[in-house]
């Protein structure tokens, strides 16, 4: 299977819907170890993205993803906005000119997206940031390419890996971002950014895997 630009746009729409549905939940998680704005931030950013999609219908996947990134950069404040902005911009650079992504293209785009987040935010694994969900998810995609795993299965396993990474942040003490100001008191709470990353990757699996 592969993902064409219509399917890519469908994923972005589903991200917007899922982030809206989970706005309160993400904000609740961020109120425990941050400033209670992550759900509002993600919803604001993806609502702005939705307004850009009608112009994107005949564009290549790289252009669509870069537009998502630029829109998030310009509409979302805090740490999350610029980090997700970078995520989609970098994925877009690797998909420049493409009208279709196969599993290898997707793995390459997601690796670039993760590397962009790490370059910008300087977080290491286990610092209790979105990197803890994205890293295992990208590793699953890369292994799936080497092992010739079908794309649908790889997408589902990648989302599951993100979920495990997200749950594994609960006991961690945050070392980056606002949650790190709490020190030891950040332990015992799930990272909000990992949660939105999981929702975004689960939306990819739900949108594409059984097509």
The binder of 83, among ligand ADP, Mg ion, none, by C-beta within 5 to 8 A per type, is ligand ADP
Binding span for Mg ion by CB under 5 A among 6-14, 24-32, 158-166, 200-208 = 24-32
The token pair that represents 41 in the structure block: 């931030």
Interface with ligand ADP by CB under 6 A: which residues?
Answer: 30, 34-35, 37-38, 41, 78-80, 83, 117, 121-123, 129-131, 176-178, 191-194
| CA–CA separation, 39 and 193 (whole Å) | 10
Nearer to Mg ion, 30 or 157 (CB): 30
The DSSP symbol for 189 reads S
> 88 CB contacts (<8 Å, ≥6 apart)?
65, 66, 68, 69, 72, 113
Nearer to Mg ion, 38 or 44 (CB): 38
Nearer to Mg ion, 38 or 98 (CB): 38
Residue among 25, 7, 26, 30 nearest 207 (CA): 7
Name the region of 183 (left: φ>0; alpha: ψ -120 to 50; beta: rest): left
* Minimum distance from residue 142 beta carbon to Mg ion (Å): 30
End-to-end CA distance of the chain: 8
Nearer to ligand ADP, 136 or 192 (CB): 192
The token pair that represents 154 in the structure block: 């790889």
Residue 37 engages Mg ion in binding (rule: CB under 5 A): yes
* Minimum distance from residue 19 beta carbon to Mg ion (Å): 14
Binding stretches for Mg ion (CB under 5 A):
30, 34-35, 37-38
């Amino acid at each position: 299977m592969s993902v064409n630009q219509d399917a890519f746009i469908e994923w972005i729409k589903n991200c917007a819907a899922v982030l809206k549905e989970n706005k309160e939940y993400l904000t609740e998680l961020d109120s425990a170890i941050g400033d209670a704005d992550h759900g509002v931030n993600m919803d604001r950013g993806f609502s702005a993205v939705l307004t850009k999609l009608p112009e994107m219908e005949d564009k290549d996947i790289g252009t669509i993803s870069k537009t998502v990134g630029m829109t998030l950069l310009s509409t979302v404040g805090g740490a999350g906005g610029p980090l997700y902005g970078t995520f989609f911009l970098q994925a877009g650079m690797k998909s420049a000119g493409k009208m279709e992504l196969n599993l290898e293209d997707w793995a390459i785009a997601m690796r670039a997206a993760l590397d962009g987040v790490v370059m910008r935010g300087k977080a290491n694994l286990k610092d209790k940031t979105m990197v803890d969900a994205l890293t295992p998810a990208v590793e699953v995609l890369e292994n799936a390419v080497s092992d010739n795993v079908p794309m649908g299965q790889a997408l589902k396993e990648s989302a599951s890996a993100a979920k495990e990474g997200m749950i594994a942040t609960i006991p961690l003490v945050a070392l980056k971002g606002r949650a790190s100001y709490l020190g030891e008191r950040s332990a015992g709470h799930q990272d909000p950014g990992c949660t939105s990353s999981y929702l975004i990757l689960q939306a990819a699996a739900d949108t594409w895997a059984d097509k």
